[in-house]
Amino acid sequence: MPKELEIETDVEELAIVITPEVQKRFDEIITQIRDEIDEKRIEQIEKAFHFAANAHSGQTRISGDPYITHPLEVMGILTELHVDSVTLIGALLHDIVEDTGSTLDDVAQEFGPVVALLVEGMTKLSALRYDTRSSEERQAEYFRKMLLSMAQDLRVVMIKFADRLHNMRTLEVMPIKSQIRIAQETLDIYAPLAHRFGVGKIKWQLEDLSLRILDKVAYRRIAERVTMDRDERENALNNVIEQLKIHLKSEGINAEVLGRAKHFFSIYNKINRRGKSFEEILDLLAVRIIVADIPDCYKALGVAHNLFTPIVERFSDYIAMPKGNMYQSLHTKVMDKEGHTIEVQIRTREMDEIAEVGIAAHWRYKEGKSSRIIREDNLKDYYRWLRQVIEGSKEEDSSEEFMQTLKINLFTDEIYVFTPKGKLIRLPKESSPVDFAFAVHSDVGLKTLGSKVNGKMVPLNTRLFNGDSVEILTSANAHPSADWLRFVNSSKARSKIKRYFKQTQFEDSIRIGEELLQRELKANKLKMSRKEILDLVNGAGHESPESFYAAVGAGDLSVKRVLKDVIGEVTQTIEKRNAARQSLMRTLKRDTSNVRVKGADNLMIAFGNCCSPLPGDRIIGYLSKGRGIVVHRNDCPNIADLSKDPEKLVDVDWDVHGGSLFNCRLRIYGEDRNNLLKDMADVFSKMKVSVVELNLRSEGSLAVGTLVVQVKGLGQLSRLMNRVSKIQNIVKVERINVADVAEKIV
């Protein structure tokens, strides 16, 4: 074929690939970004447009439109977020590896490795398929992979949001079944993700489009109600806006005042989740004030509070404490003379833009003509968050736990609390001091003993609120309690506590398993070399002795059965085996606990951290999942709770032999004076009692001490308390539970 002819054909094909309508739409989009992106980069975008059009040539969408219209519109959505040219090129090429003959190498060669990385992320994402009916495991797998692809480069997230938005806008051509599946996925995952990444503008569109498919009736009803009485509501709103404008101006504040539209999904949510009525929601007037700088934000707040009556408890300052998704604004609620409630948001122009585009603001203007800078660490925060979600749910976790982690991270709002030094710590709503401790550092969490909120001792399950100042008291002897899992709310605390229990249980099981094997061998007058033991272990299907011992110790594997092949026949009678086991249990129990269990088989024994029983105290055991038998005092307040399942209560007795020491918690009240502490220390040392922990504070003339001492039993304790109470100026000495620490000191 002659050369000229070949070129002509190409040109002709190109003309078909890009129809005049498509070209026109491309030009329209480009016109909007000419001011933001320089000419050289615009040329790259044009090149990508032709490359994609060629690759997709001949392909159509289900609607019959040329396929290129999809990547083009995805790019169009992204230009509204003002992202960089790399993201725009990634958007144009996002489907070509998945759907055409082009490869990632082609993309890398033409557009560089960064664009290729974005396309790769999108390709991986599109291979995943969400199915609400599939097992929890498969869903968990889906999300894990999704987050991993996104974590490569956060611009993948942006492209994915735009891709999903365009697909949602053009969903009506799909079969109903697919519409529902895609809408559900959008509502379950993409809308909350868009919220988490601060892209408000895309978030509400995704929600409203999903609602329209998932609950057609409700959607239509909301649409009707919103149009009803619209004029009346708009009059009231305009009146409020007008008043605000006049007063802001007279205070010399240059401000834009706007009414805010209420999105259908948010109305839907308020009705269904919070039980509000249409009237309550629609009568609420929503206003936004946009000003030049932060000082003006607070001035404008003053104006609003002067003009209308503030509903005080409704004020939030997200300027001083930005939300995790970078959102900043002042929120307040006020009431006008006619009794309308008005929700006012006050923010700068830049804050307003960030509220709309969120994470996208990070790439804005960087390569363009403006020099505006968005803080670098915001991006790091997002990566850290993604990593945390992915890592907080490592393989050992069940799918159920992963989904829980993901939901905690996606759907909870946040609170902001402070360390004693004033460092800001961000936690999910309804967090406790334990969540706080783990957020500060895992080691702090694992050694947490007590907590103070705003200077007062509080129980560890206290709920924290915005602005609380939190202090954690730690002790080298403290360790997590299984109870914590009932009230912690952050994924980090939850996974660290669980890991702690898995770890300690595992170590106990190994120790017990090894002991059981040795005893069984001895009973059979057998000796085994390391090599023989390894063979035995492998023969039982375990790779390492540790995992074998752990299985034996946990009761999943019977030593007897394993040894049966080795011995040839069972020589032990059942009685003998039981005797061996019981004698082993006695040894282990003595070593670990000083407590005898009547007729129980469990080997792990721990003391309730709440009431710290002492020999002489009347005690009872509680069979606790993950901790074995936990011994409490009969009068421990926790026992009242626990005895709801009486089958878990176990009779236990003291079986103390020489030298054992027990922790006991005391509180001492006295009038403060010089040398009080020294006199106390003298008493302790004379009685040879060691103090594990001491906390002494003065409140005016009153000194309050909380301390943990080590004693042999109740007898020694009462002698000690007697002696201490005779120290000059000491008013009262009492034995306390951990939970008591809270209420009484005020």
- Whether residue 483 lies in the annotated active site: no
Stretch that binds Mn ion, among 94-102, 136-144, 265-273, 505-513 (CB under 5 A): 94-102
**Which residue lies nearest Mn ion, judged by its C-beta?**
163
Judged by beta carbon, residue 153 or residue 397, the one nearer Mn ion is: 153
Judged by beta carbon, residue 91 or residue 631, the one nearer Mn ion is: 91
Site for Mn ion in 514-533 (CB under 5 A): none
Judged by beta carbon, residue 163 or residue 185, the one nearer Mn ion is: 163
- Whether residue 699 lies in the annotated active site: no
Judged by beta carbon, residue 95 or residue 617, the one nearer Mn ion is: 95
Task: Label residue 187 left, alpha or beta by phi (over 0 means left) and psi (-120 to 50 means alpha).
Answer: alpha
Question: Does position 208 bind Mn ion by CB under 5 A?
Answer: no
Q: Least CB distance from residue 94 to Mn ion, whole Å?
A: 6
Judged by beta carbon, residue 159 or residue 656, the one nearer Mn ion is: 159
- CA distance linking residue 412 with residue 318, whole number of Å: 16
Judged by beta carbon, residue 52 or residue 355, the one nearer Mn ion is: 52
Stretch that binds Mn ion, among 87-95, 230-238, 253-261, 512-520 (CB under 5 A): 87-95
Judged by beta carbon, residue 167 or residue 718, the one nearer Mn ion is: 167
What would the x/- binding string for Mn ion be over residues 633 to 672, using CB under 5 A? ----------------------------------------
| Contact call for residues 617 and 563 (beta carbons, < 8 A) | no
State whether residue 669 is helix, strand or coil: strand
Stretch that binds Mn ion, among 91-99, 209-217, 221-229, 722-730 (CB under 5 A): 91-99
- Distant-in-sequence, close-in-space partners of 425: CB < 8 Å, separation ≥ 6: 416, 417, 418, 419, 436, 439, 440, 470
- Distant-in-sequence, close-in-space partners of 537: CB < 8 Å, separation ≥ 6: 543, 544, 545, 548
Cα 242 to chain centroid, rounded: 42
Stretch that binds Mn ion, among 39-47, 93-101, 261-269, 629-637 (CB under 5 A): 93-101
Q: Least CB distance from residue 98 to Mn ion, whole Å?
A: 8
Among residues 36, 73, 84, 95, the one that binds Mn ion under rule CB under 5 A: 95
- How many residues touch Mn ion under the rule CB under 5 A: the total is 2
| Contact call for residues 229 and 202 (beta carbons, < 8 A) | no
Q: Least CB distance from residue 130 to Mn ion, whole Å?
A: 15
Judged by beta carbon, residue 67 or residue 436, the one nearer Mn ion is: 67
Catalytic residue (one of 99, 251, 317, 672): 99
Q: Least CB distance from residue 205 to Mn ion, whole Å?
A: 16
Q: Least CB distance from residue 162 to Mn ion, whole Å?
A: 9
C-alpha gyration radius of the chain: 34
- CA distance linking residue 423 with residue 55, whole number of Å: 53
CA angle 698, 701, 706 (to 5 degrees): 35
Q: Least CB distance from residue 185 to Mn ion, whole Å?
A: 14
- Distant-in-sequence, close-in-space partners of 208: CB < 8 Å, separation ≥ 6: 263, 264, 265
In the structure encoding, which two tokens stand for residue 521, read together? 């061998």
- Give the helix ranges, DSSP H, for 392-463: 399-411, 433-440, 442-446
Q: Least CB distance from residue 43 to Mn ion, whole Å?
A: 24
Q: Least CB distance from residue 163 to Mn ion, whole Å?
A: 4
| Contact call for residues 197 and 157 (beta carbons, < 8 A) | yes
CA angle 662, 663, 664 (to 5 degrees): 115
- CA distance linking residue 150 with residue 161, whole number of Å: 11
What would the x/- binding string for Mn ion be over residues 528 to 567, using CB under 5 A? ----------------------------------------
Judged by beta carbon, residue 146 or residue 240, the one nearer Mn ion is: 146
Using a 10 angstrom Cβ sphere, with 0-12 exposed, 13-18 middle and 19 or more buried, the burial of residue 19 is middle
Stretch that binds Mn ion, among 95-103, 219-227, 510-518, 548-556 (CB under 5 A): 95-103
Q: Least CB distance from residue 53 to Mn ion, whole Å?
A: 15
- CA distance linking residue 286 with residue 270, whole number of Å: 15
- CA distance linking residue 741 with residue 734, whole number of Å: 11
**Of 150, 75, 85, 162, whose CA–CA distance to 120 is shortest?**
150
Site for Mn ion in 147-166 (CB under 5 A): 163
Catalytic residue (one of 46, 65, 98, 141): 98
Task: State how beta strands 341-348 and 316-317 pair.
Answer: unpaired
Site for Mn ion in 162-191 (CB under 5 A): 163
CA angle 381, 385, 386 (to 5 degrees): 120
- CA distance linking residue 93 with residue 75, whole number of Å: 10
Residues annotated catalytic, as ranges: 98-99
Q: Which residues bind Mn ion (CB under 5 A)?
A: 95, 163
